[in-house]
């Protein structure tokens, strides 16, 4: 599509903005015990979602074109009130809420709160974002019985269909998830955000996430699949947005402290402070982790601080600022060959490998309600961070470390950006509609150096170029990147049941690479026989439009049929190209990936008895980037990273959650749920210029991916059992079953894991405990191409944890 076409699309969207009046419902909300007003009450319409929130005087109002509504009033510690309301003109409805009985156990209170608000999917409109017709999944962290202290992704994301997870970090310092054939490495195929702003190293040039928020400080995790490319970037995976807990609106100060101990010397502390005083609110936490790791040479220590402060000028205008700092140092035990793994999966022959992350994020947000139907948000954000990787690495993983100079890679990431969004609800031809227009500016100035590190064994992250001038892997690059985007979507409600949501995203990307690398060859005695400095400066500029459309049909409140299709784009990362890696080579002609994703399915909640989401997807790649085994005339066989070919994936994803408490008509002392989350995928390379690839399966695609679990509760005691199964998967496009010397290439065998957990609450105290990998399965999920490998990275054996929480 040309720029002229883009202007026409933008004009059509802007032309459709006129606002037509709607009928209004308003009133005051009071406490049935003492007749005092109640602020911050959330007012929902059962099918449309959150409409408004009561102000400091207990007053609420909203407008709707519907004449028959089911209005729900909700706030913590009060009974949920549901009212059927006829709205033929402006109506007044005063509401009285009754406090929950103080002698009810916390489990009963939670069950009653979740009766209607099992918010595991995003509504059509939330804030200044549109989700109509998209496949959305929301992890409700507060209701999870997962091992939150170690960010156990296998448990936390258990009900998100089809995710493929690298499980090699027993502290949850990094999140590695993918899906639908996307490489899980550092979640690089998703646009990762925290409270709506970017947190990865460089969204385009190096979209890897070295920072993962402490799960104990999260309210929910939003996952939107590939159709999110229209609002949140171009990635094939879509969006993952971590939403931190909000300030406590009812207390000036609330303290929560959690201490966890576990296997392999694990200790973590999570302490948060939260509160609201007048127009000022805050939420902050400190998270500390340390441990020895489940393998030798794998100790770690991490410190994470998060702070949110907000100020509410009036009912229309809010501002907030957030600050995040993460520092962690981890020793890395290195990778293994298949033979080493089979001999002893917990062994390590690397004692001098270290990894350090220093992450600083900041964000400023302005939210303004222009009118009852029009909202505006503005985010200004930035990142100042570094990542240092140090160690001895070679393509022969079983080689003993000679204790010489180590390889050091230093990365510096400095970027900033701003995103503005305007959302307006209006009528067109007498029907409801919602319009969104937004823009994003993003500028990065990053750098990377590779060279000789020290001969020592500790975490010394200084370069020793003068001491080791003939070190063969030396490079230095700057990566200035610029991205400007304009995006828009519009929900057209053709009637009360059917909506169509077209959208677009215009992208301008300028990616630059400025620097050099050295080629140095030495003889057996260490004498230089060849030396060359190669300048490698690149300037890659492109602009394009991504298009998409979503459809939604709701014949009843228990059923929604949805579908969407959206174009995707992923730029190649120069940082990958310019790093010298002994485990693989990079094709010099590597270019960007293009393609599209599509979803169709049906979902809903039938009388709070069965919650379900059953769907199918298709994903098409042009020029998919991956690995192939390449043979040379001299007999050498290496792994080469490049554009392997075109690929297609088809799959079925399903989640069904049964509320057996209601099915079996159990009383409120009990809770009883069973879920099954299943994914079945077929994948194939349809064409390739590389021999032996066409017709092969796509890597990182287990044919079967199942997670199922049982959750049972009696009063304040909760128990959870979860079983996970993944079929085998390939790690390269040539579908190699056998590994190479580095352990990078080869199949990942099938595995199944069982986890159990318990939770007990007494007044202000809470005890959580559990066992991960209960059956002590020996397995691995990752063959690392670089750090923390190269080679097989084993997953954790059976381990336990226990958490004690105090809430004041």
| pLDDT, tens only, 77-86 | 788 888 888 8
If you average pLDDT over each of 174-178, 468-472, 608-612, 664-668, which comes out highest? 174-178
Residue 633 has a pLDDT of 60
Distance CA 700, CA 728 (A): 9
Mean pLDDT on 105-110: 47
Distance CA 471, CA 482 (A): 33
∠ CA 671-724-150, nearest 5°, is: 80
The full DSSP string for 477-526 is: EEEEEEEEEEEEEEEEESSSSEEEEEEEEEEEEEEEEEEEEEEEEE-TTS
Q: How far is CA 681 from CA 177, 181, 182, 649, in A?
A: 17, 9, 12, 7
| DSSP secondary structure letter of residue 94 | -
Residue 632 has a pLDDT of 59
Mean pLDDT on 531-554: 90
Q: How far is CA 461 from the centre of its chain?
A: 30
Residue 635 has a pLDDT of 56
For residue 523, pLDDT over 50 is answered with yes
**What's the mean per-residue pLDDT of the chain?**
88
Distance CA 38, CA 96 (A): 9
Predicted confidence band at 102 (pLDDT cuts at 50, 70, 90)?
A: very low
Q: Which of 113-117, 338-342, 625-629, 745-749 has the lowest average pLDDT?
A: 113-117
Walk me through the domains of the chain, giving residue ranges and CATH numbers.
Answer: 1-103 (2.60.40.1120), 240-807 (2.40.170.20)
Residue 293 has a pLDDT of 95
Residue 108 has a pLDDT of 46
Distance CA 137, CA 177 (A): 15
Q: What is the pLDDT of residues 191-224, one digit of tens each?
A: 999 999 999 999 988 888 999 999 999 999 999 9
CB-CB neighbours of 726 under 10 Å = 22
Of 574 and 389, which is predicted with more confidence? Answer: 389
CB-CB neighbours of 458 under 10 Å = 10
Q: Which of 198-207, 274-283, 704-713 has the lowest average pLDDT?
A: 198-207
Q: How far is CA 430 from the centre of its chain?
A: 39
Cβ(170)–Cβ(799) under 8 Å?
yes
Mean pLDDT on 32-36: 81
Side by side, the strands of the sheet bearing 191-194 are: 136-140, 218-224, 239-244, 191-194, 197-198
Residue 22 has a pLDDT of 67
Mean pLDDT on 302-330: 96
Q: What is the pLDDT of residues 683-693, one digit of tens each?
A: 999 999 888 89
Q: Which of 109-113, 150-154, 482-486 has the lowest average pLDDT?
A: 109-113
Distance CA 577, CA 588 (A): 8
Cβ(220)–Cβ(686) under 8 Å?
no
Q: How many CA atoms lie within 13 A of 150 on its CB side?
A: 32
Predicted confidence band at 614 (pLDDT cuts at 50, 70, 90)?
A: very high
Of 509 and 785, which is predicted with more confidence? Answer: 509
Which residues make beta-bridge pairs with 215?
Answer: none
Residue 538 has a pLDDT of 82
Which residues make beta-bridge pairs with 28?
Answer: 59
Predicted confidence band at 16 (pLDDT cuts at 50, 70, 90)?
A: very low
Predicted confidence band at 609 (pLDDT cuts at 50, 70, 90)?
A: confident
For residue 556, pLDDT over 90 is answered with no
How many secondary structure helices (H) and strands (E) does the chain include? Answer: 7, 43
Q: Which of 206-215, 451-460, 541-550, 582-591 has the lowest average pLDDT?
A: 582-591
Q: Strand 254-262 relative to strand 239-244: parallel, antiparallel, unpaired?
A: unpaired
Q: Which of 1-5, 369-373, 459-463, 488-492 has the lowest average pLDDT?
A: 1-5
Q: Which of 11-20, 251-260, 635-644 has the lowest average pLDDT?
A: 11-20
Of 126 and 104, which is predicted with more confidence? Answer: 126
The DSSP H or E segment spanning 338 is helix 338-343
The full DSSP string for 290-312 is: EE--SSTT--EEEEEEEEEEEEE
Q: How far is CA 456 from CA 352, 390, 404, in A?
A: 8, 11, 8
For residue 70, pLDDT over 60 is answered with yes
The residues near 727 (Cβ < 8 Å, ≥ 6 apart) are 702, 703, 704, 705, 750
Q: Which of 769, 761, 671, 756 is nearest to 716 (CA)?
A: 761
Q: Which of 87-91, 560-564, 610-614 has the lowest average pLDDT?
A: 87-91
Residue where the block lists tokens 């961070």: 385
Cβ(331)–Cβ(356) under 8 Å?
no
Predicted confidence band at 582 (pLDDT cuts at 50, 70, 90)?
A: low
Mean pLDDT on 609-615: 92
Distance CA 219, CA 612 (A): 22
Instruction: Give buried/exposed letters for 224-252 (b at 16+ CB in 10 A, else e).
Output: bbbbbbbbbbbbbbbbbbbbbbebbeeee
Mean pLDDT on 509-515: 89
The full DSSP string for 133-163 is: TS-EEEEEGGG--S-GGGT-HHHHTTTSTTE
Cβ(31)–Cβ(72) under 8 Å?
no
Mean pLDDT on 663-672: 86
Distance CA 238, CA 231 (A): 10
Which residues make beta-bridge pairs with 266?
Answer: 262
Strand locations in 332-473 (E): 354-371, 374-391, 407-428, 431-452
Cβ(427)–Cβ(433) under 8 Å?
yes
46 φ, ψ to 5°?
Answer: -55, -35
Mean pLDDT on 157-185: 89
CB-CB neighbours of 631 under 10 Å = 10
Cβ(178)–Cβ(163) under 8 Å?
yes
In this prediction, what percent of the chain has a pLDDT beyond 70? 92
Residue where the block lists tokens 């310019």: 578
Residue 154 has a pLDDT of 94
């Amino acid at each position: 599509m040309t720029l002229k076409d883009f202007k026409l699309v933008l004009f059509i969207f802007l032309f459709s903005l006129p606002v037509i009046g709607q009928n209004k419902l308003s009133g005051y909300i009071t406490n049935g015990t003492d007749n005092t007003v109640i602020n911050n009450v959330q007012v929902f319409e059962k099918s449309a979602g959150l409409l408004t929130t009561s102000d400091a005087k207990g007053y609420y109002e909203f407008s709707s074109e519907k004449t028959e509504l089911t209005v729900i009033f909700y706030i913590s510690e009060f009974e949920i009130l549901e009212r059927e309301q006829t709205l033929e003109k402006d109506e007044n409805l005063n509401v009285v809420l009754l406090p929950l009985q103080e002698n009810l156990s916390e489990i009963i209170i939670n069950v009653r709160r979740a009766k209607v608000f099992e918010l595991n999917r995003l509504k059509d409109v939330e804030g200044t974002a549109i989700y109509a017709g998209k496949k959305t999944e929301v992890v409700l962290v507060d209701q999870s019985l997962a091992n939150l202290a170690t960010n156990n992704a296998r448990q936390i994301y258990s009900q998100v269909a089809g995710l493929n997870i690298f499980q090699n970090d027993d502290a949850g310092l990094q999140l590695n998830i993918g899906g639908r054939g996307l490489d899980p490495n550092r979640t690089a195929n998703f646009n990762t955000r925290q409270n709506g702003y970017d947190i990865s190293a460089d969204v385009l040039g190096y979209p890897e996430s070295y920072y993962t928020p402490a799960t104990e400080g999260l309210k929910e995790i939003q996952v939107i699949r590939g159709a999110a490319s229209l609002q949140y970037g171009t990635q094939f995976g879509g969006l993952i947005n971590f939403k931190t807990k909000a300030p406590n609106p009812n207390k000036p100060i609330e303290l929560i402290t959690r201490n966890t101990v576990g296997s392999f010397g694990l200790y973590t502390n999570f302490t948060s402070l939260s509160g609201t005083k007048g127009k000022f609110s805050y939420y902050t936490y400190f998270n500390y982790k340390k441990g020895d790791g489940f393998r030798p040479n794998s100790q770690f220590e991490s410190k994470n601080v998060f702070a949110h402060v907000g100020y509410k000028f009036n009912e229309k205008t809010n501002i907030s600022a957030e600050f995040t700092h993460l520092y962690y140092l981890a020793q890395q035990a290195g990778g293994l060959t298949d033979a080493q793994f089979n001999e002893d999966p917990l062994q390590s022959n690397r004692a001098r490998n270290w990894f350090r992350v220093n992450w600083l994020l900041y964000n400023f947000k302005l939210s303004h309600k222009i009118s009852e139907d029009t909202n505006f948000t503005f985010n200004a954000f930035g990142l100042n961070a570094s990542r240092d990787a140090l160690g001895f690495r070679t393509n022969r993983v079983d080689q003993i470390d000679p204790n010489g100079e180590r390889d050091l890679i230093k990365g510096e990431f400095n970027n900033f950006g701003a995103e503005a969004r305007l959302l307006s609800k209006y009528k067109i031809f007498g029907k409801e509609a919602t319009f969104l227009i937004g823009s994003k500016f993003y500028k990065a100035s990053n750098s990377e150096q590779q060279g000789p590190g020290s001969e020592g064994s500790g975490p010394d992250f200084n370069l020793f170029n003068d001491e080791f001038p003939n070190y063969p892997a030396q490079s230095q690059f700057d990566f200035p990147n610029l991205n400007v985007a304009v995006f828009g979507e519009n929900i057209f409600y053709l009637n009360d049941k059917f909506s169509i949501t077209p959208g677009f995203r215009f992208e301008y990307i300028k990616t630059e690479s400025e620097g050099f690398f050295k080629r140095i060859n030495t003889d057996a005695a260490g004498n230089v026989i060849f030396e060359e400095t190669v300048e490698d400066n690149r300037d890659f500029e492109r602009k394009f439009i991504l298009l998409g459309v979503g459809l939604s049909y709701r014949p009843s409140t228990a059923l929604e049929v949805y579908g969407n299709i959206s174009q995707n784009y992923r730029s190649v990362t120069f940082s990958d190209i310019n790093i010298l890696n002994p485990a693989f080579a990079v094709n010099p002609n590597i270019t960007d990936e293009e393609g599209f994703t599509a979803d169709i399915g049906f979902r809903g909640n039938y009388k709070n008895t069965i919650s379900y989401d059953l769907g199918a997807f298709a994903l098409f790649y042009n020029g998919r980037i991956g690995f192939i085994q390449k043979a040379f005339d001299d007999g050498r066989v290496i792994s080469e990273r490049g554009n392997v070919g075109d690929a297609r994936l088809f799959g079925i994803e399903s989640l069904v959650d049964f509320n057996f408490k209601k099915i079996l008509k159990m009383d409120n002392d009990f809770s009883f749920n069973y879920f099954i989350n299943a994914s079945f995928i077929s994948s194939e390379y349809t064409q390739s210029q590389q021999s032996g690839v066409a017709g092969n399966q796509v890597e990182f695609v287990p044919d079967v991916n199942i997670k199922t679990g049982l959750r049972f509760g009696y009063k304040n005691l909760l128990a959870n059992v979860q079983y996970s199964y993944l079929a085998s998967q390939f790690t390269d496009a040539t579908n190699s079953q056998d590994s190479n010397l580095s352990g990078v290439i080869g199949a990942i065998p099938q595995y199944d894991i069982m986890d159990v957990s318990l939770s007990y609450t007494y007044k202000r105290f809470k005890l959580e405990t559990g066992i991960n990998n209960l059956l002590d399965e020996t397995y691995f999920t990752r063959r690392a191409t670089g750090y923390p490998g190269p080679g097989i990275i084993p997953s954790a054996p059976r381990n336990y944890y226990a958490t004690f929480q105090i809430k004041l």
